[in-house]
Structure 1
Amino acid sequence: MGGRARRLGWAAWVLGPLGLVGLLGSVVWLGSTYRSVTVSSSGMTPTYAIGDRVFIERVDGDEVRRGDVVLYSLPGRYRGQPVVQRVVGLGGERVAHEGGASGPTLVNGRALAEPYVKDGVANGGPPYDVRVPRGRLFLMGDHRANSNDNRYFADDHGGSVPFDAVDGRVVDGVARPVAVAVGGLAGLGVALTGLGCGIAAATERRRAAHLRMAGWAIPQ
């Protein structure tokens, strides 16, 4: 019986901390890497509608690429509230449109394929011609005729947004955070198993102590 108690005790010491590390690690990683926000405007339709919840992966502005949808906030715009818009131009690029709704967005003079825009209309707002400064991004909503985006802030660096205004990038797939969450649940299961082993070990020791007091031989 003493040997069984020792084995259970060792299992408790190994499984309990191991499971807690897995659980806490997944919680900390998810909390520091992902967040969710609710879309509050129609500027990104049809990709995202008002009320949609989207997952945001925390990344720096220099990690995003054209076509990414990002969450950003900037003092002096939208009352400082975070907004979701799509990256169209990168630092050093010229982004332009001469007006009207039918023509494409031009990046360095070449038409940009944008299958995500509402009704295939790539513009519909004011004409613009912006050389995006280095370290900044030019963003627009997918509903170009109904998006108060970078085109309307031309007096501030051509409307562009600095890297440090980016809070994160929208991720459409949730496989990675779900996998980490499942790993955290597995860690919880291991920790509970360790707790069970600890309780069983304590029970075995109490039984052994009672048997000794009664004068019984204790099997090993």
Structure 2
Amino acid sequence: MEEGQAPGADGEGAEESSEKQQPKKKGSFWKELPILLGVAILVAIVVRTWVVQTYYIPSGSMETTLQINDRVLVNKLVHDFSDPERGEIIVFTAPKDWRSVEEEDEFIKRVIAVGGDHVVCCDDQGRITVNGQPLDETSYLYVNPLTGEQDPPSGDPFDVIVPEGRLWVMGDHRSASGDSRERYIRNGGSVEGATISVDAVIGKAFVLFWPFSDFNWFAIPETYDDVPEPS
């Protein structure tokens, strides 16, 4: 190599270098599209099965919190790491004797009491108590839009200690909800028949996303913060 001459100065090397820098030709977009769609479908199936799922509300049992045909997102993973908490809105597989139609097996209700809790209706002010602490449910109980009257916490008395591994659940529209209170009365005071297994819980509803005008994140009402642990 002569002094001061850079490689490729004669033009040969430059042409060769340019050719090497050209990117390799990739497969066409249309060949890759089925693969991309397949991956997207697989991810969607995995997410829907184990992580998050959309549910629509078929009845008025959770009014006014949830209206008929509302859409909510349910976190299906959260209860793999922790048990349901008082005040949460959950989706669960209902016992067969809770269903009016056998195929309609997924219910949505609010957790009022968990295993070991002593849940009673009602105190002298008509409130449900959990472990002796009255619940202020005015923030979510159904209000009749015609009369402006709010549903009472319960039209029937009960006094129950929830078995371990089970939940006492109720709809927010108490006068139109098939729930633990209703099953307790129907089953002649059977606590097992009135509660659901923690294992039946599918997930926690965490957001109302449709209709978008009613978008709302679900938080546990503050009244549950004051409930003591069972003694």
**Structure 1 residue aligned with 2:57, among 39, 51, 54?**
39
Alignment root-mean-square deviation, CA: 3.1
How far off its partner does 1:128 sit?
A: 1.1
Which sections of structure 1, spanning at least 5 residues, go unmatched?
175-220
Measure the CA separation in 1 of the matches of 2:57 and 2:198.
21
What SS is found at the alignment partner of 1:164? helix
Change (3 A) 1:94 1:158: farther
Structure (1/2) with the larger helix percentage: 1
**Do 1:136 and 1:161's aligned partners in 2 also have CA atoms closer than 8 Å?**
yes
Aligned position for 2:182: 152
How is 1:9-158 mapped onto 2 (pairs within 5 angstroms)? 26-27=43-44, 29-32=46-49, 33-59=51-77, 60=79, 62-73=82-93, 74-78=95-99, 79-80=101-102, 81-98=105-122, 103-114=126-137, 115-119=139-143, 120-154=150-184, 155-157=190-192
Change (3 A) 1:110 1:57: same
Measure the CA separation in 2 of the matches of 1:24 and 1:43.
34
How far off its partner does 1:144 sit?
A: 1.3
Which sections of structure 2, spanning at least 5 residues, go unmatched?
1-17, 144-149, 185-189, 210-231
Measure the CA separation in 2 of the matches of 1:9 and 1:26.
28
Measure the CA separation in 2 of the matches of 1:72 and 1:27.
22
**Do 1:99 and 1:127's aligned partners in 2 also have CA atoms closer than 8 Å?**
no
Measure the CA separation in 1 of the matches of 2:151 and 2:41.
47
What SS is found at the alignment partner of 1:118? coil
Change (3 A) 1:127 1:170: same
Measure the CA separation in 2 of the matches of 1:150 and 1:43.
13
The TM-score normalised by the length of structure 1 is 0.64
Measure the CA separation in 1 of the matches of 2:68 and 2:40.
34
Task: Point out which structure has higher relative CO (alpha carbons under 8 A, 6+ apart).
Answer: 1
**Do 2:123 and 2:134's aligned partners in 1 also have CA atoms closer than 8 Å?**
no
**Do 2:72 and 2:208's aligned partners in 1 also have CA atoms closer than 8 Å?**
no
